[in-house]
Amino acid sequence: MSGDNLRRVAAGDTAGQSPDERLTPLVSGHVPDRTSTPADRGGEWDELLSSAGEAAADGGVAVDNGLVTESLDEILLAMIASSSTETHGTGLMEELERQFDVQLSPGTVYPRLHELEDDGTLAVHELVQTKQYSVSDRSAAKSRIERAVQQHLAMGMFLQTALDAM
């Protein structure tokens, strides 16, 4: 990919409106078929998702603290939505460490949980010595997580395309 194409992509001047449509020119160099899905295209998507999935599945991926912190709300929502246990602050911090090899302080995690409670996305269930969290607005949580996925995939595809061009 030429430098001009990389600059156009970085500036958002790409074909298509959805993130998937905007990514296709990055990886294949052609205008996307607007009726196909990432799964239909196979190839680049399958390879990217497979390698990312394998790395994440074993919890052995060390992720930069800043990346985790930047998407902490969505990560917490995903963890709480997919777990029936350990949805208290300490359990969530332990899971963050296990999954991403990051150690976030209570001063980073708890304010985010409180904000998600304040905006109505999470509900808090007070127990004897702890609070358990659950998703109270599944639609809002799903929307936030989908948006984060699209943004991270777009960034990953952009960086992979730049790497391939080197």
pLDDT digits (tens, 9 = 90+) for 68-85: 999 999 999 999 999 877
Q: Bridge-partner residues for 133, per DSSP?
A: 124
Q: pLDDT at residue 7 above 90?
A: no
Q: Where in the chain is the domain with CATH 1.10.10.10?
A: 65-135
pTM for the model: 0.66
CATH number of 65-135: 1.10.10.10
Span 21-66, pLDDT tens digits? 444 444 444 333 434 444 554 566 566 566 666 665 555 567 788 8
- DSSP letters spanning 92-103: HHHHHHHHH---
Give CA separation, 117 vs 66, 96, 107, in Å: 23, 19, 16
SS3 assignment, position 134? strand
Span 106-159, pLDDT tens digits? 999 999 999 999 999 999 998 888 889 999 999 999 999 999 999 998 998 899
